[in-house]
Amino acid sequence: MKKFIAISLALLMVLAAVGCNTTTTKPTAEPATEDPITENTTGLPTATPQQDSEPTAEPTADLPTATPQPDLEQDIIEAAWAFAEMIAQVHEQQFIKEGAEVKLSVSGSFADVCFASALYPYEMLYITLILNENGNYEVSPASCYIDRAEGVSIDVTDARFGDDAIGNKSDELHNAQIVVTVDDVRAAGCEEEIGSNEYRAAVAEVYGEKLAEYYRGSFTEDSLFYCFDVRCIDTEAGSTVYPEDSYYNIVIAFRVRDIRPFSYLFSFGPYFVSGAYHPEYEGWLLYWNYVNIELQEDGSFVCDAYLNGAA
């Protein structure tokens, strides 16, 4: 009996030793050599997402994105190209539709499109379109302009202007004297008293017409600033900046051979005339000047030919 008990105790000790050894010799974790299990039964995000667990859902159609979808991009290009064709016709330009680039704002409220010039290397027509209340993109003429392509040095694109050509023409306009006499005003049909608001309004109109005539004579075919036509399209009394009756906004529209030099000639612009403003001059280059119609003692008026957008 004692022998049986002794054998039983020995067996229990062996079993206990084996059980302890199994616990203490458990192997440490090694990196998996096979693809890990990607199923997540808890639904919680893992600390290290696997390569095939990146989100694949596309943004919903009604949310603006920085990269337009192909159909939307093509619609934007077509809307911009219609404006580009009109500018090309007005100013006898040529632009290239192929390779047009579209940049859509993150909010989707506006888009920019650029077309390369076929006449002037490294120059682009930049067109901005705004999302209207009907969900369509329409061109904003005041935000469109000609400039060099991104990444191209100004020395490359502007070498054709020649040395001091722009500065010399700018000085000429500053030094010019456009004179409106009393006889000019009377010839325009104004018989109002000299110094009256009606008389000043007539002076502004005559000055605008003489200014346009001066440009047509100065911007000749051999000039960098050659114009096919120049017109005074508006003379407005006062403004939010200069509400006085003696100030007039003289608005001049140009149809030119080469658009880009005009970006440097005056102190601002140019802008393209909107069809909503003056349909008959849509696409022409737009400049203006706030002029103080300060009369000489004899009722005449003298002013220069530089358009700076302010008095």
Q: Which domains, ranges and CATH numbers included, belong to the chain?
A: 70-157 (3.10.450), 162-303 (no CATH)
φ and ψ at residue 72, rounded to 5 degrees: -65, -40
- Tell me: pLDDT of 260 over 60: yes
pLDDT band, residue 7 (cuts 50/70/90): very low
Residue 15: per-residue pLDDT: 39
Residue 11: per-residue pLDDT: 39
pLDDT band, residue 67 (cuts 50/70/90): low
Residue 33: per-residue pLDDT: 37
Residue 140: per-residue pLDDT: 93
The average pLDDT across 47-54 equals 34
- Tell me: pLDDT of 48 over 60: no
124-131 long-range Cβ contacts below 8 angstroms, 24+ apart: 124/148, 124/149, 125/84, 125/87, 125/93, 125/95, 127/80, 127/83, 127/84, 129/76, 129/79, 129/80
- Strand 110-117 and strand 95-104: the pairing is antiparallel
- Tell me: pLDDT of 248 over 90: yes
pLDDT band, residue 66 (cuts 50/70/90): low
Distance of CA 282 to the CA centre of its chain: 18
* Residue 135 near residue 150, CB atoms below 8 Å: no
- Tell me: pLDDT of 41 over 60: no
The average pLDDT across 265-291 equals 91
Nearest 10 degrees: Cα torsion 36, 37, 41, 47:
10
**Does 86 or 239 have the greater pLDDT score?**
86
* Residue 93 near residue 87, CB atoms below 8 Å: yes
pLDDT band, residue 246 (cuts 50/70/90): confident
CA dist., res. 96 & res. 91, Å (int): 15
What is the DSSP code (8-state) at residue 48? S
The average pLDDT across 112-141 equals 95
Average pLDDT, the chain: 81
Instruction: Please return the burial class of 208, using the count of CB atoms within 10 Å of its CB with bins 0-12, 13-18 and 19+.
Output: buried
